[in-house]
Amino acid sequence: MLDAATAERFATLTLGHLTREWPYKLDQVLNGPADLALPATLHPIFHGSFDWHSCVHGWWQVMRLARLFPTMDQAAAIEALADRMLVPHRVAGEVAYLDRPMTGGFERPYGWGWLLALHDELALRPDRPWAAALEPLARAFAARFAAYLPKLLYPVRSGKHDSTAFALIHALRWARTHDAALVGVIEARSRLWFGADRAAHPWEPSGEDFLSATLCEAVLMQDVLGADFLAWLGAFLPHPYGAPTACLRTPAVVTDRSDGRLAHLDGLNLARAWCWQRLADDLPEPTSARVIAHAHLQAALPHLADDYMGEHWLATFALLAMTD
């Protein structure tokens, strides 16, 4: 589904904002006047793309594009930027931010998951130093996952940044290569939270969702359960094309793409496309699932750059849907 021309379009969009410093939305608790600083001082790497997490997954996007299309025109610029930005002293600055007081909830869990996804992508290029440079930050967030998940009695079943399932999809993939102990924690907690879920009757979307809580849960459990997944999915979505799940099959409508929260719904369409694609082979009528995914993808793809409120992040979700 992803061709060179589309890859170049995505790369051009994201390179245009990856180091764009303004506007920027901080996620910060001020403990005193000394905490007031410019975003580029607080976050030596991830100070573009409107907010920290969007900058992180913007990096994931361009690094994946450069790996998949190494001869595209933008690949050299992406790698040169990585050589300048993904270096130990800048990573140390990002780690230092986590050592400030009252940062325990910083970007939890969405940014945590995307940072691990970025490190996982960089590790696919062992010929370059980027993954080794970023590893201390990845380890810091892995440690936060390991400490936080056992304390989380109830999963956050959300269509926004606090979604437990979405973050753990990325974290589990990273952990399976880099942290066997974290794999055990994620799998155990996921089985505890979601293992007994049956006959989902979703009421989606909420007005500002960019994730499907129902479908993200299913994708996570696909990764967790392995051979036991088909039985779980049959109980969780016994009628995937029936009336109870009709809301998951109809692309959401965006009324104002200059409103950042309403523009989330373009992201929801892309996230659903990704989920339906991921689940298709485990559902009855896989072709029907892929048709649903395609409809959601086509509803959002023409609007990736309509306004900066979507432009700074939507191409990431398009790439996720088209390459995962």
Assigned token pair, 45: 């790497």
Closest CA to 300 of 288, 287, 311: 311
How does pLDDT run across 199-226, given as a tens digit for each residue? 999 999 999 999 999 999 999 999 999 9
How does pLDDT run across 71-111, given as a tens digit for each residue? 999 999 999 999 999 999 999 999 999 999 999 999 999 99
Model's pTM, two decimal places? 0.98
Residue 259: predicted pLDDT = 98
Element (H, E) at 11: helix 4-15
Residue 187: predicted pLDDT = 98
Assigned token pair, 314: 């939507």
Mean pLDDT of the chain: 98
Residue 38, φ and ψ in degrees, nearest 5? -70, 150
Distance CA 133, CA 152 (A): 30
How does pLDDT run across 257-291, given as a tens digit for each residue? 999 999 999 999 999 999 999 999 999 999 999 99
Residue 324 has pLDDT above 90, yes or no: no
Indicate left, alpha or beta for 236 from its phi (over 0: left) and psi (-120 to 50: alpha).
alpha
- 10 Å Cβ neighbour count for 256? 11
Counting residues of the chain whose pLDDT is more than 70, the rounded percentage is: 100
